[in-house]
């Protein structure tokens, strides 16, 4: 067998320790598939004394992770620190500049600085691999960039954040409100102490920006992603969606339209019969639609030590074998220059719930405003009668433009008879 591939691992937290464990427990199978052993030579983390459940005494220890880029015994640098800037970015840039291939799980870094980092990798002709950065253990990057490489991708969509999917699933199954379920998820360790990256949709947007770059062969463009999280999803809307035949999911969707590339993360109503509607709990899913292949659905664990290590080591096996693909699937000069489509131009169907005073004329006011903005109704549901009190009125629309819907919504919210901020959820025919 050839010379071992010697790696340096920066970050020994959930993912880093998981990678060391996998490489030790599956050493034989990894060596067979890589054509040579994959061995850890050097590591870096903040706390040298912390027990990480894996032996470290035989490894070269670096307090400064950036110094791993210059470690003479290292063939590949594995960045598992996290964060879009700071030591993670410094290490990745230093390693690429030094001609060392990089494997990273860092979606924030790739979403925010991925265009420049990919250019650096290409200019130096150094591989940059990041299977673990999107949907954890699901081989979504490989599927899009390699398995589906022969297709024009029309759309890629996914459940890209396990924390949000877990919260929405518990809210539906137990008819509970968001804040209560979030607090419990934090206690159980399913949500971070500061959960905003997850529940405000930012983590999903990082991953979607990467998927869109791969699906459409274009530099990553995080700033173009429209982002909404799940804080405003209520148990009532989840129940009403169920009555209408839908589930509410936080999706990331990237689509090629005639006017440009749309990328958006927001709560969606998907038909209960859609495969993605049944992906519950912490699971992730990615759905891609190609012109020759049709629809491909991938589902699995999007986080955790085992699934993420599985993806990191798959990248290491590719590098050991010398299998290298351009970062976004094509050389920089051949990338697609289609413009980003702003959210105002999105066209789709909507679910709208208003809490209105039950009194004559209210429905006429509401439908009048929708008519003024050329929004046609698909269905209307009024639950219960309580003269003089608030009742929910649910409307679903045919396709209309987001800009019209927002203008109508502002007028609806200003009506005396509308008592709370209206709830708006986009309907996706996935
Ligand atoms: N967790 C997942 O399931 C998952 C899934 C997919 C992708 N990812 C990505 O994988 C990466 C790592 O995530 P994680 O969950 O493993 O994070 P984590 O558990 O917080 O571990 C981070 C590691 O980085 C080390 N570190 C932090 N700052 C450092 C510094 N200045 N110098 C040296 N080491 C430093 C920490 O050292 P100490 O241990 O000494 O504090 C720790 O070992 C992130 O980019 C994340 O987005 C994670």
Above pLDDT 90, what percent of the chain? 92
Is residue 130 scored above 70 in pLDDT? yes
- Classify residue 198 by burial, with Cβ atoms within 10 Å: 0-12, 13-18, 19+: buried
Average pLDDT over residues 21-38: 98
Cβ of 140 less than 6 Å from ligand 1: no
Q: For atom 25 of ligand 1, which residue has the closest CA?
A: 11
Give the whole-angstrom CA distance, residue 293 versus residue 153: 9
Give the whole-angstrom CA distance, residue 232 versus residue 425: 10
Is residue 333 scored above 90 in pLDDT? no
Confidence of residue 1 (pLDDT cuts 50, 70, 90): low
Average pLDDT over residues 99-117: 98
* Distance (Å) from CA 79 to ligand 1 centroid: 9
Average pLDDT over residues 54-80: 97
Please answer whether residues 323 and 306 qualify as being in contact, where contact means their C-beta atoms are separated by less than 8 angstroms: no
Q: For atom 44 of ligand 1, which residue has the closest CA?
A: 82
Above pLDDT 70, what percent of the chain? 100
User: Please, which residues bridge with residue 350 across strands?
Assistant: 426
**Average of per-residue pLDDT values in the chain:** 96
Cβ of 224 less than 6 Å from ligand 1: no
Cβ of 15 less than 6 Å from ligand 1: yes
- Tens of pLDDT, residue by residue over 352-384, are 999 999 888 999 999 999 999 999 999 999 877
Residues acting as catalytic residues? 207
Average pLDDT over residues 152-169: 97
Q: Which residue do the tokens 């470290």 mark?
A: 56
Cβ of 107 less than 6 Å from ligand 1: yes
Confidence of residue 180 (pLDDT cuts 50, 70, 90): very high
- Which pTM was predicted? 0.97
- Tens of pLDDT, residue by residue over 383-418, are 777 787 889 999 999 999 999 999 999 999 999 999
* Distance (Å) from CA 307 to ligand 1 centroid: 15
* Distance (Å) from CA 12 to ligand 1 centroid: 6
* Distance (Å) from CA 303 to ligand 1 centroid: 13
């Amino acid at each position: 067998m050839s010379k071992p591939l010697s790696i340096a691992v920066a970050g020994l937290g959930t993912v880093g320790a998981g990678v060391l464990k996998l490489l030790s427990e599956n050493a034989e199978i990894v060596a067979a598939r890589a054509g040579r052993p994959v061995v850890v030579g050097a590591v870096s983390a903040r706390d040298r004394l912390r027990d990480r459940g894996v032996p470290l005494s035989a490894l070269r220890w670096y307090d400064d992770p950036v110094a791993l880029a210059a470690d003479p015994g290292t063939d590949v640098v594995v960045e598992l620190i996290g964060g879009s800037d700071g030591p993670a970015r410094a290490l990745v840039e230093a390693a690429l500049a030094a001609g060392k291939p990089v494997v990273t799980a860092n979606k924030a870094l790739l979403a925010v600085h991925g265009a420049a980092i990919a250019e650096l990798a290409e200019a130096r002709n150094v591989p940059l691999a990041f299977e673990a950065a999107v949907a954890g253990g699901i081989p979504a990057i490989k599927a899009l960039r390699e398995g589906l490489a022969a297709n024009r991708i029309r759309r890629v969509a996914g459940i890209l954040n396990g924390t949000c999917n877990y919260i929405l699933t518990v809210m539906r199954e137990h008819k509970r409100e968001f804040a209560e379920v979030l607090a419990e998820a934090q206690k159980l360790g399913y949500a971070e102490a500061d959960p905003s990256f997850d529940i405000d949709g930012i983590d999903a947007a990082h991953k979607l920006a990467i998927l869109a770059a791969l699906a459409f062969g274009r530099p990553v463009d995080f700033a173009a992603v429209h982002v909404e999280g799940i804080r405003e999803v209520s148990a009532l809307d989840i129940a009403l969606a169920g009555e209408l035949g839908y589930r509410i999911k936080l999706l990331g969707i990237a689509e090629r339209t005639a006017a440009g590339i749309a990328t958006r993360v927001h709560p969606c109503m998907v038909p209960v019969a859609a495969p993605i509607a049944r992906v519950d709990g912490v699971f992730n899913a990615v759905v891609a639609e190609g012109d020759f292949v049709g629809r491909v659905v991938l589902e699995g664990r999007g986080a955790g030590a085992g699934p993420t290590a599985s993806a990191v080591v798959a990248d290491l096996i590719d590098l050991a074998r010398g299998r290298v693909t351009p970062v976004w699937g094509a050389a920089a000069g051949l990338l697609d220059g289609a413009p980003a489509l702003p959210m105002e131009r999105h066209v789709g169907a909507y679910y709208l719930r208003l809490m209105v005073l039950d009194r004559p004329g209210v429905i006429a006011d509401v439908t009048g405003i929708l008519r003024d903005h050329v929004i046609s109704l698909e269905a209307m549901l009024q639950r219960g009668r309580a003269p003089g009190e608030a009742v929910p009125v649910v409307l679903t629309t045919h396709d209309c433009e987001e800009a019209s819907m927002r203008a109508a919504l502002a007028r609806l919210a200003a009506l005396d008879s509308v008592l709370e901020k209206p709830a708006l959820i986009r309907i996706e025919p996935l």
